[in-house]
Structure formats: C-alpha cells, structure tokens
C-alpha cells in the first residue's frame, strides 16, 4: 500500500493518459487549462484506484499461496518410507518458501 500512499504507480497504470488536445483557438486559455487540470486529476484518480485494486488482488493471491505452501510444509514427511532421510529436502523447501515470502513482503512494503 506504500505505492498508493506515495503515489508511485505501477508500470501498467503509469502508461495510462486520459488527456486529449484542446483547440485553444476555440476555447480560451483559462478554460483549456482548467480542462487539462481536470484530465490530470481523472488520470491520477484512475491510477490510484487501479493500483489499489492491483495491490488488493496481489495480497489475496499471496495469502492463498502462503496458506497452501504452509499446508504443504506441515504435511511434508520428516522421514521417507524408502529409508532415505527427508529432512534435507524439507529444510531446502522451507528455506525457499521463507525467501519467497520475504521477497513478496518487500515488493508489497
């Protein structure tokens, strides 16, 4: 939510420009400037709403994936039926998951 708070749009929403050229021979300069200001405000509101929605969707996706991975970790066998020790594989998977979660938290932060 820091992106929204600091008005740092994502690449996909930063490209959106809802402005158009006004013929200043027909409309006086003050009225044209007011229209341009309104266009910028509408663009900014759109970017903020799109960014907020994107952050909410990513947070939900992260929540679902985290819950699934936690369930997998909890169900991961500590010992293998074939006589091999499963602990190294379990530790590697858990380490990978923890690194992934830190990265996602940095991206959201």
Within a 10 A sphere around the Cβ of 93, how many other Cβ atoms?
14
Model pTM score: 0.56
Question: Where is 20: in which H helix or E strand?
Answer: none
Helices and strands counted in the chain (H then E)? 4, 0
Q: What is the pLDDT of residue 77?
A: 65
* pLDDT tens-place string over residues 54-97: 888 888 888 888 888 888 777 766 665 565 566 676 777 777 77
Cβ–Cβ under 8 Å, residues 22 and 35? yes
Determine the average pLDDT of the residues in 34-62.
87
Mean of the per-residue pLDDT values of the chain: 77
């Amino acid at each position: 939510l820091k992106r929204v708070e600091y008005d740092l749009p994502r690449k996909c929403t930063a490209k959106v420009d809802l402005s158009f050229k006004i013929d200043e021979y027909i409309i006086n300069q003050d009225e044209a400037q007011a229209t341009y200001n309104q266009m910028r405000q509408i663009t900014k509101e759109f970017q903020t709403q799109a960014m907020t929605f994107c952050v909410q969707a990513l947070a939900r996706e992260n929540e679902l994936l985290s819950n699934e991975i936690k369930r997998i970790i909890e169900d991961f066998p500590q010992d293998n039926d074939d006589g091999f020790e499963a602990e190294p594989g379990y530790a590697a998977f858990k380490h990978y998951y923890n690194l992934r979660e830190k990265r996602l938290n940095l991206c959201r932060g």
